Amino acid sequence: MASKTLVHMRCRLWAPLVFLLPLFVNLLCVPHGNANLLEMADLVAHPEVYDHKAVVVIGLVKDVQLVIDQKGEPTFKFLLADDVGTLKVTSRIQVHNGDQVIVEGTFTRRRQGGRLSVYNEVTALTIRPLNQFNSDLVG
């Protein structure tokens, strides 16, 4: 009889965790980026909708500038262009003029830096060459 009680107690301790298991499995299986691929025209036309949200955009890299930040680390600033519009991108990942890339990051409608205001900027988390396009990004 003592063994039945011991087994019953063990089950009673684990029962609440069983209900939390699907939550943990869901968190582990969700991809890191939860953004859909967007047209540059949508970002430019409706920046207020995407302000401070995760975005994924495709374009051609132009006007790459290497900037050393206050911590002494290299930062790359460039324009990402397609047939419709252009966005500013800030990244720690090196890119070159003429690269076709997929940029995943956070979109900012307006950022104030001292006297300078920067509009329609993406702070890149990942940058991949276009030939590494993942079909999971297509919304």
Report pLDDT digits (tens) over 10-28.
Answer: 555 545 544 444 444 333 3
Q: Which pLDDT score is estimated for 23?
A: 41
Supply the pLDDT for residue 97. 95
3-state secondary structure the chain: CHHHHHHHHHHHHHHHHHHHHHHHHHHHHCCCCCCCECCHHHHHHCHHHHCCEEEEEEEEEEEEEEEECCCCCEEEEEEEECCCCEEEEEECCCCCCCCEEEEEEEEEEEEEECCEEEEEEEEEEEEEEHHHCCHHHCC
Superfamily name with CATH number, domain 40-133: Nucleic acid-binding proteins (2.40.50.140)
- The reported pLDDT for the residue numbered 31 is 38
pLDDT tens digits along 81-134? 998 888 999 999 999 999 999 999 999 887 656 666 567 899 999 999 987 555
pTM: 0.66
